[in-house]
Amino acid sequence: MVFLALTPGGLQDAISMALPGRDYIWCSASAISTAAFQEHQGIELTRFTETVLFDNEDDVAHAKDVIAEHHPDQRVWIEAAQNRYGSIA
């Protein structure tokens, strides 16, 4: 399985849920600093060079396409945020 984390909190959740050697995590540039990314150990983590925004469908679609290129036939879980109206962004 592949996790797409968009925020620091989502990244921490993905790290806690992912199984080393089986799962992969991709994250938005805003989810982890460059320095923290370089120091990261453990589960395989890939960091986009740009921020992937919840409310930008093009950002999320592009991220899904890139992930699919690297992990074909893998299920992708995407972090989502509930807005104040209760719908998923």
Query: Predicted confidence band at 84 (pLDDT cuts at 50, 70, 90)?
Result: low
Domains contained in the chain, number: 1
Residue 86 has a pLDDT of: 54
Angstrom distance (rounded) from CA 65 to CA 40: 24
Q: Is residue 86 domain-resident?
A: no
Q: Is residue 84 domain-resident?
A: no
Q: Which run of H or E residues covers position 76?
A: strand 76-78
Q: Is residue 27 domain-resident?
A: yes
Per-residue pLDDT at 88 exceeds 70: no
Q: Domain range for residue 8?
A: 2-78
Q: Is residue 88 domain-resident?
A: no
Q: Is residue 89 domain-resident?
A: no
pLDDT tens-digit map of 30-73: 999 999 999 999 899 999 999 998 888 899 999 999 999 999 99
**Three-class SS of residue 66?**
helix
Per-residue pLDDT at 81 exceeds 60: yes
Q: Is residue 83 domain-resident?
A: no
